[in-house]
């Protein structure tokens, strides 16, 4: 499972040194940005005439680079002008999901393909959307991210999934490169995708990850609900688990998982048999060993950092830390991994 920020961080750092010179030659970026800031206004769309829509031919790359496609879509009217107005307004301002609006527009306006509608969304909402074209997909794969889509996903659903999955890369761009133009991070990242695909052959390959000794195991751990304890984990160099009222988890080495489950039921009540909770406690106390790798996660798709497990300790002064068992030296922060839908990184992940 790829730890994405390492590859992304490497290429973004290389781009940082060339970014200013690169954007000096990318003169269409601010021009098109200003054009779409005006075009997307609802008042404008409600009154737009056919020549207004035809200006998209020179402002959308999918049309300006393919004159025949532009001529088919925007040469002569393919629908009544009222149909165009309603379709554009629904795409940009409708109440349905983005996926539904995307699919409705694509099927409702002749000769506007997936790539054109994706590019249109990026320009009209430059803070929210990255254009999903072949170049962008190749670039994020070269940066370490392989995006997969469920079977039978519609074009609009793919756009939503793609943008959700690449969001951490946009955040990494903002952090490592920073905004270099008067536009947006998403638009600049799209330009970075072009730079990467055009230059990857001349760039040095990212350094290989160090090999790990045999017997090292990987553990997933949630630092509190919605990762509320992660900052404390990272700043203080530890990993902890919940269920504080059970006492020092290292005492569980002499009792069975069934006895742990019974203790949890007595303490916390509820209808659950506590089998999964007792397994997590047992693993944290007895199976996780110094030298193992622990990965702090948020939800099922993103990781926050990884660390090398150290010796155990107990801190009874703070509720969440009371079951502290593993002092970990955290090696990463603001990292991201993407799990394929329905796949687990470890067959028995710890929870808290």
The pLDDT-based confidence of 307 (bands split at 50, 70, 90) is: confident
88 and 176 belong to one structural domain:
yes
Residue 208 lies in a domain: no
Mean pLDDT over 6-15 rounds to 90
Kindly report the pTM of this predicted structure: 0.67
Phi, psi of 26 (to 5 degrees): -95, 65
Chain mean pLDDT for the chain: 82
Token digits of residue 348: 């028995």
**Residues near 329 by Cβ (< 8 Å), separated by ≥ 6?**
237, 307, 308, 310
What's the structural domain count of the chain?
Answer: 2
Alpha-carbon span 352 to 350, nearest angstrom: 7
Which sign, positive or negative, has the C-alpha torsion 297, 298, 303, 304?
negative
Mean pLDDT over 167-175 rounds to 89
Please say if the pLDDT value at position 17 is more than 50: yes
Tens-place pLDDT, residues 29-63: 999 999 999 999 999 999 999 999 999 999 999 99
33 and 145 belong to one structural domain:
yes
Residue 211 lies in a domain: no
Alpha-carbon span 241 to 317, nearest angstrom: 15
Of residues 327 and 163, more confidence is placed in 163
Alpha-carbon span 175 to 196, nearest angstrom: 18
85 and 124 belong to one structural domain:
yes
15 and 164 belong to one structural domain:
yes
pLDDT for 349? 37
Tens-place pLDDT, residues 249-290: 666 666 677 777 877 788 777 777 777 777 777 777 778 777
156 and 304 belong to one structural domain:
no
Tens-place pLDDT, residues 108-148: 999 999 999 999 999 999 998 999 999 999 999 998 888 88
Please say if the pLDDT value at position 324 is more than 60: no
222 and 168 belong to one structural domain:
no
Question: Which structural domain, as residue segments, surrounds residue 318?
Answer: 218-330
229 and 284 belong to one structural domain:
yes
Per-position DSSP letters for 214-254, written without gaps between them: TT--EEEE--SGGGTTHHHHHHHT-B--S-GGG--GGGGGG
**Residues near 163 by Cβ (< 8 Å), separated by ≥ 6?**
128, 129, 130, 132
Asked if 127 contacts 184 with a C-beta cutoff of 8 angstroms, the reply is yes
């Amino acid at each position: 499972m790829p730890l994405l920020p390492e590859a992304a961080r490497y290429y973004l750092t290389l781009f940082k040194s060339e970014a200013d010179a690169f954007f000096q030659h990318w003169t269409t970026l601010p021009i098109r940005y200003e054009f779409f800031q005006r075009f997307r206004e609802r008042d404008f769309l409600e009154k737009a005439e056919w020549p207004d829509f035809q200006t998209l031919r020179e402002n959308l790359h999918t049309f300006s680079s393919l004159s025949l496609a532009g001529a088919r879509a925007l040469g002569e009217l393919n629908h009544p002008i009222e149909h165009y107005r309603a379709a554009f307004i629904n795409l940009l301002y409708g109440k349905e999901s983005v996926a539904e609006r995307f699919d409705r527009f694509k099927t409702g306006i002749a000769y506007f393909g997936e790539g054109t509608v994706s590019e249109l969304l990026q320009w009209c909402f430059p803070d929210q959307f990255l254009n999903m074209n072949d170049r962008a997909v190749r670039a994020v794969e070269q940066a370490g991210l392989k995006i997969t889509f469920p079977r039978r996903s519609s074009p609009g659903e793919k756009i939503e999934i793609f943008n959700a999955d690449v969001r951490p890369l946009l955040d990494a761009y903002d952090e490592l490169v920073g905004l270099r133009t008067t536009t947006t991070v998403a638009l600049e990242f799209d330009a970075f995708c072009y730079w990467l695909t055009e230059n990857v052959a001349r760039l040095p390959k990212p350094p290989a990850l160090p090999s790990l000794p045999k017997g090292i195991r990987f553990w997933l751990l949630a630092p509190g609900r919605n990762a509320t304890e992660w900052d404390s984990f990272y700043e203080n160099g530890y990993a902890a688990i919940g269920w504080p009222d059970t006492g020092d988890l290292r005492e569980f080495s002499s009792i069975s998982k069934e006895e742990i489950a019974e203790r949890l039921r007595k303490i916390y009540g509820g209808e659950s048999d506590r089998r999964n909770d007792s397994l997590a406690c047992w693993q944290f106390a007895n199976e996780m060993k110094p030298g193992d790798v622990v990965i702090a996660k948020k939800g099922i798709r993103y990781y926050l950092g990884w660390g090398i497990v150290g010796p155990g300790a107990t801190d009874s002064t703070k509720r969440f830390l009371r079951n502290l068992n593993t002092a970990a030296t955290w090696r990463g922060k603001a990292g991201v991994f993407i799990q394929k839908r329905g796949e687990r990184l470890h067959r028995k992940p710890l929870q808290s």
